[in-house]
Amino acid sequence: MAIGYACITIGVQDAKQARCTIGNATEDNLRRLIKDNLNALDAAIDYNIAMGISLFRISSDIVPFGSHPVNKLLWWEEFGEKLAQIGKKVIDSGMRATMHPGQYTVLNSKNSEVVDNALLDLKYHCKFMDVLGLDEKNKMILHVGGVYGDKKNSAEVFKSNYLRLPDNIKGRLIIENDDKNYTVEDVLGISRALEVPVVFDNLHNKLNPSLETIPEQGWVDICRSTWKQKDGVQKIHYSQQKAGGTAGSHSDTIYIEEFIKFYNNIRDKNIDIMLEVKDKNISCIKCINSSSSKTSAKDLEEEWARYKYFVLSRSASIYSEIREQLKDKENIDAVRFYKKIEQAIDKAEDKGAEVNAAQHVWGYINKNCKEAEKRRFNKLLASYIDKGDGLKSIKNHLLKCAIEQDISYLINSYYFYI
DNA sequence: TGACGTCAAGATCCG
DNA sequence: CGGATCTTGACGTCA
């Protein structure tokens, strides 16, 4: 059982991915970006290992314009050594990596150029995983594509185009129900014909349910039968609707009670759950700690160290309540802990609390900082107290100072990132 | 023709 | 001039 997150690692300075526009995609720029992005991927994997996260989606942008003719680099040769080293790290740590060509990679398109480009994109994604040296249990997820007024026929086009794919792509490809077109029932139909594993996506299923009404858990069970030994553990996508957002938009954080309810209903826990959520690795750790029986008082204390200034910036009383709760080392209750954190997340901005937290963080920086930094902090804080704007500037300044003084305790704080 | 999703790059604005 | 904030990009489908 693993819980993972997609592409971006929040709050890890060395793990930031970079890109460029097509106009700037010169050979030199691309070479530099690939080098930087591979180092960033390496850092993200180190972080995952340190945090006990063993499921991770690699960004499609890891090689900028990886399937576009503008990128003519033989990146798999040029960076072969680095790629192999990263791959070895993934394998040795027992991590499972995935990739996910987006909604614009359409294998069943009416337009043959679009199909050609989809093939190039699949080849690129597959090549990346191949050169990492990952086996076929490390999957590549694709949506079925367009409907073009005739879902049945369009599914047939998908099938025939699938059958023409190279074997290494077929070995990795898995298909997912989407939020508008192909329901899990539709995707299972395609899966039966092609023997392709199906990824059940809970939010897509809510927005685009099948004709047959089966509870979520029933669909998870049915999808399980599409996963064979060689495919590895069944994988599903889990996300929550953002309150007040357009249908299908992902929540800022995974609300833990709802997740645990879903998790408890899963009959066979031998399953990998990929979270799709704005706060990425942060929710991932939350879900791992809340679903594992091995979560210790120390685990929650480490989380508290990362959350505390954020919580303080929202509410001093919630801050005290959590501190009280954590004093009881005999009764570890991760769900209760994270529900309190969520209370703080959902609280509206409170100027007094923000000022208090900023001053608290400043207390660590104040001692060893430059006069100019001191002046800037005081100026920004005064402006915030006076006019109520510039909170982001305060946080950016504090983070900059923390990085300069290399105070990891502060740099790792979620206060700066959520 | 614009919305959809994504989020850093790139452009522009501000003090 | 540095930093904050707004706009663009790159993709394909669908209304």
Chain B: bases < 7 Å from a protein Cβ: 3-10
Chain C: bases < 7 Å from a protein Cβ: 3-5, 9-14
- Percent share of chain A, pLDDT over 90: 92
Check whether residue A16 has its CB closer than 7 Å to nucleic acid strand B. Answer: yes
What local confidence, expressed as pLDDT, does residue A354 receive?
A: 95
Distance A195 CA to B4 C1' (A): 31
Cβ proximity of A418 and A412 under 8 Å: no
What local confidence, expressed as pLDDT, does residue A74 receive?
A: 96
Check whether residue A375 has its CB closer than 7 Å to nucleic acid strand B. Answer: no
pLDDT bucket at A145, cuts 50 / 70 / 90: very high
Among candidates A395, A386, A390, A393, which has minimal Cα distance to A414?
A395
Distance A399 CA to B4 C1' (A): 34
Among candidates A236, A223, A164, which has minimal Cα distance to A196?
A223
Q: Dump pLDDT digits (tens) for A334-376.
A: 999 999 999 999 999 899 999 999 999 999 999 899 888 999 9
Structure tokens given for A125: 């994604």
- Percent share of chain A, pLDDT over 70: 100
Residue A250: nearest nucleotide (C-alpha to C1'): B5
Alpha-carbon distance of A185 to A176, in angstroms, equals 11
Alpha-carbon distance of A256 to A283, in angstroms, equals 9
Residue A247: nearest nucleotide (C-alpha to C1'): B4
Distance A246 CA to B2 C1' (A): 16
Tell me the backbone φ, ψ of residue A238, rounded to 5 degrees: -130, 130
Residue A114: nearest nucleotide (C-alpha to C1'): C12
Alpha-carbon distance of A23 to A26, in angstroms, equals 8
The answer, yes or no, to whether residue A166 has pLDDT greater than 90, is: yes
Q: Look-up: residue for tokens 């309810």?
A: A261
Q: Which fold has domain A2-291?
A: TIM Barrel (3.20.20)
Distance A372 CA to C1 C1' (A): 16
Q: Dump pLDDT digits (tens) for A17-40.
A: 999 999 889 999 999 999 999 999
What local confidence, expressed as pLDDT, does residue A268 receive?
A: 95
Check whether residue A104 has its CB closer than 7 Å to nucleic acid strand B. Answer: yes
Distance A235 CA to B3 C1' (A): 31
Distance A323 CA to C8 C1' (A): 45
Distance A303 CA to C1 C1' (A): 39
Distance A224 CA to C6 C1' (A): 46
Query: A76-80: which pairs have CB atoms within 8 A and are 24 or more residues apart?
Result: A76/A127, A76/A128, A76/A131, A78/A31, A78/A34, A79/A34, A79/A35, A79/A38, A80/A131
Distance A204 CA to B9 C1' (A): 31
Return the exposure string of A317-356: e unless at least 16 CB atoms fall within 10 Å of the residue's CB, then b.
Answer: ebbeebeeebeeeeebebeebbebbbbbbeeeeeeebbbe
Strand partners, A56: A5, A97
Chain centre to alpha carbon of residue A288: 14
The answer, yes or no, to whether residue A246 has pLDDT greater than 90, is: no
Average of per-residue pLDDT values in chain A: 95
Q: Give protein residues whose Cβ lies within 7 A of nucleic acid chain C.
A: A 21-23, 68, 102-106, 109-111, 113-114, 117, 145-148, 180-181, 389-390, 392-393, 396-397, 400
Check whether residue A278 has its CB closer than 7 Å to nucleic acid strand B. Answer: yes
Whole-structure pTM value: 0.96
Structure tokens given for A387: 């006019």
Domain layout of chain A by residue ranges: 2-291, 294-418
Residue A69: nearest nucleotide (C-alpha to C1'): C10
What local confidence, expressed as pLDDT, does residue A387 receive?
A: 84
For residues A242-270, give the mean pLDDT: 94
Q: Dump pLDDT digits (tens) for A249-258.
A: 999 999 999 9
Return the exposure string of A272-303: e unless at least 16 CB atoms fall within 10 Å of the residue's CB, then b.
Answer: bbbbbbbbbbbbbbbbbbbbeeebeeebbeeb
Check whether residue A70 has its CB closer than 7 Å to nucleic acid strand B. Answer: no
Residue A111: nearest nucleotide (C-alpha to C1'): C12
